[in-house]
Amino acid sequence: MPDYRRNRVPGGTYFFTVNLLERHSDLLVSQITLLRSIVQRVRMDRPFRIDAWVVLPDHMHCVWTLPPDDADFSGRWRAIKTLFSQSIPATEYRSASRIARNERGIWQRRFWEHTVRDQQDYRRHVDYVHFNPVRHGFVQTAAAWPFSSFHSAVAAGDYPAEWGGCEDQPGLWGEREPEKAVGRIAPAPPSMPAGARH
């Protein structure tokens, strides 16, 4: 296994991709209210700013900024994943290695992280987050996806409501190539609490 070291910058801004282990699950959107409450709970204990966030059925992307002198994004993700896993029934399949480690079979063990370098890099990642449901074929426009900070960004004047993004977005950003969207229907959204940006 490679010796992977995460780039930790106190007060830094980071882009993340976090995946469920089962990549055809809809757990994140079916449990969106639970996920939001857990994120709020973790932010109360260990603050961070949400710059952008989108939740899709089996993965999520977000951009966070940590407080000055704090670079522990891994601890925050561990808390989010742990609290989420503890809050739902243990009905998922678990491999022998997960059983041996006393791990649930909900999340992929690792997550993708990128340290945002400058304003252009920031804008590119925030746009990518908001365009992602369109990229995956769930909706035709960013505004049509309910589980996104895009709506708060529009309200703040950061985007026009009709913004849809650019399909020429390079790279996979820590995720698999999206499947063909032909005939794909987005899961029915539960009622949407207030915007994702806090």
- Are the beta carbons of 191 and 143 closer than 8 angstroms? no
How do residues 170-186 score in pLDDT, each as one tens digit? 445 555 555 443 333 33
- Are the beta carbons of 29 and 78 closer than 8 angstroms? no
Cα–Cα dist 48/51, whole Å: 9
- Half-sphere exposure of residue 128: CA atoms within 13 angstroms, side-chain side: 23
pLDDT, position 120: 96
Q: Give the count of domains, the chain.
A: 1
Flag whether 184 is in a domain: no
**Span 80-100, mean pLDDT?**
81
Look at the pTM and tell me if it is higher than 0.85.
no
CA angle 187, 192, 194 (to 5 degrees): 150
DSSP state at residue 39 = H
Range of the domain at 42: 13-117
Cα–Cα dist 54/77, whole Å: 15
Cα–Cα dist 128/185, whole Å: 21
Cβ-based neighbours of 55, under 8 Å, separated by 6 or more = 28, 29, 32, 35, 147, 148, 196
Indicate the helix (H) or strand (E) that contains 97. Answer: helix 96-100
Flag whether 46 is in a domain: yes
Cα–Cα dist 187/32, whole Å: 12
Rounded to the nearest angstrom, the gap between the alpha carbon of residue 46 and the centroid of all alpha carbons in its chain is 18
Q: Which CATH number characterizes residue 108's domain?
A: 3.30.70.1290
- Are the beta carbons of 153 and 198 closer than 8 angstroms? no
How do residues 136-158 score in pLDDT, each as one tens digit? 999 999 999 999 999 999 999 99
Flag whether 130 is in a domain: no
Rounded to the nearest angstrom, the gap between the alpha carbon of residue 48 and the centroid of all alpha carbons in its chain is 14
Flag whether 180 is in a domain: no
What length does the chain have? 198
What the block records as the tokens of 90 is 């243990």
Percent of the chain predicted with pLDDT > 90:
65
pLDDT, position 43: 98
How do residues 81-90 score in pLDDT, each as one tens digit? 999 999 998 7
Flag whether 93 is in a domain: yes
Flag whether 146 is in a domain: no
How do residues 1-59 score in pLDDT, each as one tens digit? 455 467 888 899 999 999 999 888 999 999 999 999 999 999 999 999 999 999 999 99
